[in-house]
């Protein structure tokens, strides 16, 4: 970007972790992916959404994104939307039987004896998303958040005032970004 269109990039990362990128690349089914760009101000967010992101000869469109759109599950309490590093649960909950002990020590292996720690219903383990009411509720919330962010992105393109995010750092994701052999492209701050 030229100096008049420059934004201060606080952080840039792939949408997926390195292991998942490697699996996608090894499968050979995908050659493009999404990156997350965190910028310093709302003005930078607006500029990036309106102007897009220029990397070499590639112009890439950008839209608003939020960390809550990642489908993460805690391995301590088995609830959706956070990880064990920030879990407030008093003790471990088993992902196989929903009792209060670590999952790795559980003797339950059969689905007929299983009980989901997320939705508390029998017949599936906590990580089986197709059967889990807790996951379905979480996914519905994610879709609502994504719709809200898409509307806010559209409002920026229309030139409407965007007071959606008042945080210091804002996240923007770009689409169809090519990766190099090790899964990461180093991009310096502008």
Q: Nearest Cα to 169, choosing from 72, 81, 37?
A: 37
Q: Is residue 186 part of a domain?
A: no
Instruction: Going residue by residue through the chain, which has 190 residues, state the pLDDT in tens, using 9 for 90 and above.
Output: 334 457 888 888 888 778 887 888 888 877 777 888 888 888 888 888 888 888 788 888 888 988 888 889 999 999 999 999 999 999 999 999 999 999 999 999 999 999 999 999 999 999 999 999 999 999 999 999 999 999 999 998 888 754 544 443 456 554 433 333 333 333 332 2
The DSSP output letter for 10 is E
Question: Which of 104, 126, 148 finishes a domain?
Answer: 126
Q: Nearest Cα to 58, choosing from 182, 189, 185, 169?
A: 185
Question: Which of 100, 126, 152 finishes a domain?
Answer: 126
Q: How many domains does the chain have?
A: 2
* First-residue to last-residue Cα distance in the chain: 8
Distance CA 22, CA 31 (A): 11
Is the pTM value of this prediction over 0.75? no
Residues 87 and 122 occupy one common structural domain: yes
Question: Which of 126, 152, 168 finishes a domain?
Answer: 126
Cβ(85)–Cβ(93) below 8 Å: no
Q: Is residue 188 part of a domain?
A: no
Distance CA 46, CA 59 (A): 16
Paired tokens of 12:
């840039």
Distance CA 111, CA 97 (A): 10
* 64 three-state secondary structure: strand
What is the span of the domain harbouring residue 65? 3-69+136-178
Strands 32-39 and 170-178: antiparallel
């Amino acid at each position: 970007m030229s100096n008049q269109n420059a934004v201060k990039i606080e952080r840039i990362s792939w949408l997926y972790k390195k292991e998942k990128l490697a699996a996608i690349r090894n499968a050979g089914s995908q050659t493009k992916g999404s990156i997350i760009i965190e910028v310093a101000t709302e003005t930078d967010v607006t500029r990036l959404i309106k102007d897009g992101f220029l990397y070499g000869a590639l112009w890439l469109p950008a839209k608003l994104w939020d960390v809550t759109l990642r489908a993460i599950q805690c391995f301590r309490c088995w609830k959706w939307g956070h990880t064990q590093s920030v879990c407030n649960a008093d003790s471990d909950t088993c992902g196989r039987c929903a009792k209060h002990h670590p999952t790795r020590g559980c003797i339950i292996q059969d689905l007929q004896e299983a009980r989901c720690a997320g939705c508390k219903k029998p017949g599936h383990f906590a990580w089986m998303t197709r059967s889990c009411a807790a996951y379905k509720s979480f996914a519905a919330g994610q879709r609502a958040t994504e719709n809200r962010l898409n509307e806010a992105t559209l409002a920026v393109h229309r030139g409407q005032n965007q007071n959606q995010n008042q945080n210091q750092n804002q996240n923007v994701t770009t689409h169809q970004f090519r990766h190099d052999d090790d899964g990461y492209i180093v991009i310096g701050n502008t």
